[in-house]
Structure 1
């Protein structure tokens, strides 16, 4: 059974100077020959523990993860092949995988979904900080086989040690202190693990704080300052929307600093497990608190709270038809308040549980496999003037299976399937806006077939064919009202059908010592892509009803409606690293990666919104004893393929530099001191995947210094 603790770098690996500065590396694994020749199992993509994966996957752990530190999960992962960020300012950001975001990218903690409201709106943060994470695994492409329809674009799974999964003898731990960046960020984090061989205890905590983000020039883009930008700032003056709109048009853009972009967060966890040689039984409690400003509204802050209780059990080496069993259950209580000048405007709550049981059966000839069941229930509510979706209960149950055949010549075949039932039950709560909404039920099915074929000389071919279905979410069905945070008026489609996609993914890979190369292509054809389309009307809210017109200023916000459209997404990705020089004392590695994604409707050839542009990056990594240096240049092209009434983004070229020094302290503790420089050319960077790209750029030239220790 795969052990989630393998993400904790062993001490021999911590001494590797090249791994110490993989700040923006496309794949975060040590480049030393001792580690790259060993397979790294991505448990999210394959619970059977095989390192042969037909789907493209990325694993961040150890120093590589530490040195990509950022306030949000999206910013940590952006810049990896196929991965971008929604980036609603520095306080809120979700990953975008191959142009897909929201409920098409499944966010997991230790393999189980964690409830928050980040998929509902771009200004809602992911309720997690990477300071307490040991490993991040990203599976690109249709990963719905194991994790459901909301993983139709991919899976991001964070793994930690909060629920100990193996026996410990004595004490071990780690700590990090960091300062700098474009927002003068301060971070302190620590963890401690101990045990007597039978019981294992984990304790961790962190605190993070940042000031307003410093930016290279104007907050508003040139298009926005000229009145041509795609972002329409939200209004709160519901009695004087016309006058407020005119005033906003004549407002001046902030310069040098992004107002109301500061943030603070803290949290921690405690976990206790009974461990055996062949398994564990454990319980953990984790808390996360965050308060950050909305870059779209200078008087609005979001106050976020999440509590999570997790239970885990696993046994392996069993006799009989079931050889391994693994079960996880998590209950999450999430709430955030949107504060307007310190007063609560709207409160979002999301509470519920999700549980999974996986059984690995005994081999049947060449057949090895896992079958499992997943159940879940959640209750979402929004209370206040900005509630644009009704209270909704969601119930889910699913069965899934994954089987592998190991054939002659090293060929590996895989076949999997999943059937999932979802029921969404809304409650209008006496609000006339939601009167008449009805419960909907969906049964979604997914099938996947993959192959990995080794070739001569370290080369291999991998391919995956999948059919996936996704049930629409509560907001895609029932949204009806002013979405103040995004400056839009949204309407759902209560008659929406399932989203369906057929996807093909293929890659040519090479691995030999420290040298590696992967070149892949993907194609997804959606029969019913649920898109948020602009209708051309403008709407204004009046309590539980609204007024809409076809002329701007008849309403304060543009109307958008969820509707199913035929769509196609396709693209290319490549990623490679080569050791160009090595001596007894020095080494030089060259890294290169790039990606391009195209996404468009098939009925009118119009581009889908917020698709990242073509990108390419190269880096040189130099190591000499305990000293290491990494210099990288990334280039993003202009993004001009945008829908009507949307705005293009200019390309940029950004240079980053990282310097690291590793040394051993008293008691064998391993220390890493590092200095990191970002955006050294002071470029104006606006992500095409960000809704707020016209009003909130990325940070200016900055430096960050940190010290971490592991003992």
Structure 2
């Protein structure tokens, strides 16, 4: 919403009504500002040194590019970017999938510190953040464990929102937006204000989002699911199947049509932050709150009620004398919990309370060598209370040391670094005898990385990165033992699981000249101990603290899955490009082409890993004429038939989208009116990366309109 590079100064607030008059004024066409698809400011997520090109592939969303991708979940905002897909457990919950990896292999950050929610535990758990008031999102594709630990073995998504002001503010500035539409009649409102006197700065933001049940182009259940061959196993409760009026088993339900039941949602939140700012640093504090209530698309009588409170501290100081020229410290404490409601009754309550702290020091140059050394530490207390808890309460403590060095040799830029992480997990069975044999584990994991960027003639360059990464198993990979109702499975952890180890290579050919750019790259990851959730062939049903399992399915039983370390490999290619094909005065025409393909399989058997996105290709034309911008896009996803045993393929689809925006300046206030059309061909879209693809498709043809203002 707010361009981070615009000076923060006092601006008069113009009434919203003026935008509707000005948005279609011919005089506004004199404004020749362009709508940028991406920005290229300092990339704090991938390189705290903030200098030179990056060896790892990074995508940034900010300004209009972020505004026009708005959605109710972080996964849906980012899906469709090169290398990025979505888990999509209905409209209420989704996480990003990067190069086929999800869960605890993708680290979600807020302003550089861990989000600390429970979204990695289960696909029906929402990410506790909203992009309505975000300034920028940075996505690192590929291993970023060097800086952020083993949970970034697949990538990092960092949301930045300026809730702790880091720059001096003199006057008042801000932004606001209203939006309506989409396949779920979504209503969005958000506003933010920054004010200061040059020494102190204050930030306030608020947002609200509400949507109805998602409208879909046909049946909720796929053809395979309606034929009894779908991939999704309906959740089973203690009572097993529902019974009819006379005690007989009720008939199988029919698939909903036209709407996805229990897919409505509502969320709201806000933040207050204050900073003492200097020319060369800042010290600040912020509180933010997030509340959400949404339905589970897997069970029509289940809702999830989520709340998160977050307290953050940040300090930075540059221009120091001595061995360190700059220091940066961030700390965030998070209090998170959500309840899974069956009607009016609370089924299970999940909680996660803890802190994440990070201190970085940039040392003085040693010849051509510059670098950062740092320490990161934290503690979380995870809890799961209720009949459907399938993991024990667990306390996790972590501490890590890391270093990143960078230097210029001739024309090439080199980087190298390492990190060592120590973590300990201590389960507490409480009164649940199911977890009485769970024992504490500790791990020491190491990561190494080396990268190079070599400029070539005429705007071309080569970039390469090699990494070795270790990841300690999570609490659910170690201690899971029970029915995971949301996924319709019976899960068992491996209490003796070892570290996940991977060697990765990433290389890209890049070009940049004016508006023209190209990135064509490939990657390969070799896992020695990929912790996979494997089907055992048994069927199980729990009765309190004991289970009934067998080779033949009986009423009320779920398929048993167990975590197991297997050798695996992931590899693929990515293309991202923009070409200016026409430029005259205030008019321009760009052609954008992108695509990606990921292959992932076990090395010993050749069996594909589950929920891997298919090959995707896309093209778009972007026309600009002064304040007017029009973008028309066509995306095609191929059929995904490389699936594990006992899984089902996903069909190909082609989706057409269009976005129109109009920007005007009225005095010192900037307005943007926009209109977006999604899935114009009314395609039935089912993501291969979604666990619920056979019961919950994406939305039907829809349009949404919005108005944003900066002052």
TM-score, normalising length: structure 2:
0.95
Matches within 5 A, 1:181-330: 181-236=182-237, 238-241=238-241, 250-330=252-332
Does 2:599 align with 1:598?
Answer: yes
Query: CA contact under 8 A between 2:3 and 2:63: conserved in structure 1?
Result: no
What residue is the counterpart of 2:514 in the other structure? 513
Q: CA deviation at 1:432?
A: 1.4
What residue is the counterpart of 2:359 in the other structure? 357
Matches within 5 A, 1:622-637: 622-637=623-638
Which residue of 325, 331, 346 corresponds with 2:333?
331
What residue is the counterpart of 2:18 in the other structure? none
Q: CA deviation at 1:555?
A: 5.1
Matches within 5 A, 1:107-506: 107-236=108-237, 238-241=238-241, 250-409=252-411, 411-506=412-507
What residue is the counterpart of 1:693 in the other structure? 693
Distance 1:314 1:247, change over 3 A: farther
What residue is the counterpart of 1:100 in the other structure? 101
Q: Name the CA distance, whole Å, in 1 between partners of 2:612 and 2:650.
A: 11
Q: CA deviation at 1:41?
A: 2.8
Deviation string 1:133-180 (CA, Å, 9 cap, x unpaired) is 101000000100000000000000001110010110010000000000
Query: CA contact under 8 A between 1:182 and 1:701: conserved in structure 2?
Result: yes
Query: CA contact under 8 A between 1:538 and 1:554: conserved in structure 2?
Result: no
Q: Name the CA distance, whole Å, in 2 between partners of 1:16 and 1:98.
A: 37
Distance 1:9 1:235, change over 3 A: farther
SS in 1 for 2:132: helix
Query: CA contact under 8 A between 2:670 and 2:709: conserved in structure 1?
Result: yes
What residue is the counterpart of 1:80 in the other structure? 81
What residue is the counterpart of 1:19 in the other structure? 35
Query: CA contact under 8 A between 2:8 and 2:169: conserved in structure 1?
Result: no
Q: Name the CA distance, whole Å, in 2 between partners of 1:249 and 1:621.
A: 52
Deviation string 1:27-70 (CA, Å, 9 cap, x unpaired) is x34xxxxxxxxx53321000000241000000101111111100
SS in 2 for 1:339: strand
Q: CA deviation at 1:8?
A: 5.1
What residue is the counterpart of 1:681 in the other structure? 681
SS in 2 for 1:363: strand
Query: CA contact under 8 A between 1:9 and 1:61: conserved in structure 2?
Result: no
Deviation string 1:439-481 (CA, Å, 9 cap, x unpaired) is 0000000000000000000000000000000000000000000
Query: CA contact under 8 A between 2:241 and 2:555: conserved in structure 1?
Result: no
Name the count of aligned residue pairs: 689
Q: CA deviation at 1:546?
A: 1.1
Q: Name the CA distance, whole Å, in 2 between partners of 1:207 and 1:318.
A: 42
Q: Name the CA distance, whole Å, in 1 between partners of 2:641 and 2:433.
A: 41
Q: CA deviation at 1:627?
A: 1.3
Deviation string 1:477-522 (CA, Å, 9 cap, x unpaired) is 0000011111110000000000000000000000000000010000
Q: CA deviation at 1:11?
A: 10
Query: CA contact under 8 A between 1:18 and 1:621: conserved in structure 2?
Result: no
Matches within 5 A, 1:547-626: 547-553=548-554, 556-626=557-627
Q: CA deviation at 1:239?
A: 3.4
Q: CA deviation at 1:228?
A: 0.4
Q: Name the CA distance, whole Å, in 2 between partners of 1:138 and 1:132.
A: 18
Q: CA deviation at 1:16?
A: 5.8
Q: Name the CA distance, whole Å, in 1 between partners of 2:639 and 2:490.
A: 29
What residue is the counterpart of 2:21 in the other structure? none
Q: CA deviation at 1:235?
A: 2.1
Q: CA deviation at 1:17?
A: 5.3
Q: Name the CA distance, whole Å, in 2 between partners of 1:500 and 1:242.
A: 45
SS in 2 for 1:131: helix
Distance 1:522 1:379, change over 3 A: same
Distance 1:586 1:249, change over 3 A: farther
Which 5+ residue runs of structure 1 have no aligned equivalent?
23-27, 30-38
Q: CA deviation at 1:7?
A: 3.8
Q: Name the CA distance, whole Å, in 2 between partners of 1:389 and 1:323.
A: 45
What residue is the counterpart of 2:671 in the other structure? 671
Q: Name the CA distance, whole Å, in 2 between partners of 1:336 and 1:15.
A: 47
Deviation string 1:203-233 (CA, Å, 9 cap, x unpaired) is 0000100000000000000000000001011
Distance 1:643 1:278, change over 3 A: same
Distance 1:385 1:540, change over 3 A: same
Q: Name the CA distance, whole Å, in 2 between partners of 1:426 and 1:452.
A: 45
Distance 1:408 1:438, change over 3 A: same
What residue is the counterpart of 2:542 in the other structure? 541
Q: CA deviation at 1:545?
A: 1.3
Q: CA deviation at 1:336?
A: 0.1
Q: Name the CA distance, whole Å, in 1 between partners of 2:64 and 2:512.
A: 22
Query: CA contact under 8 A between 2:8 and 2:171: conserved in structure 1?
Result: no
Distance 1:539 1:385, change over 3 A: same
Distance 1:572 1:675, change over 3 A: same
Q: CA deviation at 1:196?
A: 0.4
Q: CA deviation at 1:342?
A: 1.8
SS in 1 for 2:146: helix
Distance 1:17 1:684, change over 3 A: farther
Query: CA contact under 8 A between 1:459 and 1:511: conserved in structure 2?
Result: yes
TM-score, normalising length: structure 1:
0.95
SS in 2 for 1:122: coil
Query: CA contact under 8 A between 1:17 and 1:623: conserved in structure 2?
Result: no
Query: CA contact under 8 A between 1:40 and 1:51: conserved in structure 2?
Result: no
Which 5+ residue runs of structure 2 have no aligned equivalent?
10-29
Q: Name the CA distance, whole Å, in 1 between partners of 2:442 and 2:516.
A: 50
SS in 2 for 1:338: strand
Moved more, 349-358 or 242-251: 242-251
SS in 2 for 1:265: strand
Query: CA contact under 8 A between 1:139 and 1:155: conserved in structure 2?
Result: yes
Q: Name the CA distance, whole Å, in 2 between partners of 1:192 and 1:124.
A: 31
What residue is the counterpart of 1:33 in the other structure? none
Q: Name the CA distance, whole Å, in 2 between partners of 1:387 and 1:73.
A: 26
